Amino acid sequence: MKWMLAALFSLSCAAALAKTDTATFAGGCFWCMQPPFEKLEGVNQVLAGYTGGAGKNPTYEDYAQKGHTEAVQVKYDPAKISYSDLLEVFWKQINPTDPEGQFVDRGPQYRAAVYYHNEKQKALAGKSKEALNKSGRFDKPVVTKILKYESFYPAEDYHQDYHQKNPLRYKLYRSGAGRDGFLERYWNQEELAPKKEKKDKKDPKASLSPLQYKVTQEEGTEPPFHNEYWNNEKAGIYVDIVSGEVLFSSKEKFDSGTGWPSFFKPLEPGNVVEKTDSSLGITRTEVRSKGANSHLGHVFDDGPRPTGLRYCMNSASMRFIPVENLEKEGYGNYKKHFK
């Protein structure tokens, strides 16, 4: 059988995936702030959300009242792109001289800001702001604030990648918002082009073991009871082995008796895509990651309460990050899930 052959090539999924760092930026409407960072080589994930306020669990209806601003949180590989590179892209998306909002969007909830996660980011952001101010590019002082990061709440799913889900409405909004006109006035096209733009997708074979490649890229299946996470009982999260996007949590994991890691629901439903699979002559529901399009496994309706679902996943398609490592791996905002 195919899985028996694949088992011969099984290597540890714990082999170090590139370290992930986190950057958080507010630049007005978060619809417009996701695309520039998503284009960058070394960026794994860009989430739209709310930050900077005191109120917990904000929604689109009340985030402004709770003191939050619209923002994006960027997960990136510092070996491929630096925080300074991200800052350079950030400044070229906003009007840094406007203290009252951004372009057509007015009010504190649309103010631009850099939210630093550590002292190194704070120093780099300050240096970058000072250099921009001294450049004389703008006819007013650069007033964008550099603030300490406290928390980030992902926005509702319909706000994520709005430019892809609603391209016509996005283009109409963007063309009338005044952002592009401002940027073109102060930056030339060569300057606006990202220096580290993603090239053609690299062959995953370069970074995956044979089994990981077989499972994620060729819809393979690893052997039951002989895979890394089927009986893992540690607390933490499971992320896509290719992209690092968050998929599942140990709090929703259960012993299904099948020999594969099983969960009754995803931690980040927006990162999980379900597709009809008729490859074996029967109809099943395949599960893939949204960003990397990795094959993860299948979902069945014989799981436990409260969902009644069983997400039967392959260990080879995921990487486990223990709770104690969440902060240093760039997933610190998920620590609250385990309190």
Catalytic residues: 29, 312
Q: Please say whether the beta carbons of 22 and 45 come within 8 A.
A: no
* E strands, 217-283, in order: 236-240, 246-249, 253-254, 262-263, 272-277
> Which region, left, alpha or beta, applies to residue 91 given φ > 0 means left and ψ of -120 to 50 means alpha?
alpha
Q: Show contacts of 176-183: CB within 8 Å, 24+ apart.
A: 176/104, 177/29, 177/32, 177/103, 177/104, 177/105, 178/103, 178/104, 179/28, 179/32, 179/93, 179/102, 179/103, 182/95, 182/103, 183/92, 183/93
- The pairs formed by 62-67 with CB atoms below 8 angstroms and a separation of 24 or more are 63/109, 63/153, 64/107, 64/108, 64/109, 67/108
SS3 170: helix
What is d(CA 81, CA 244) in angstroms, rounded to the nearest whole number?
A: 15
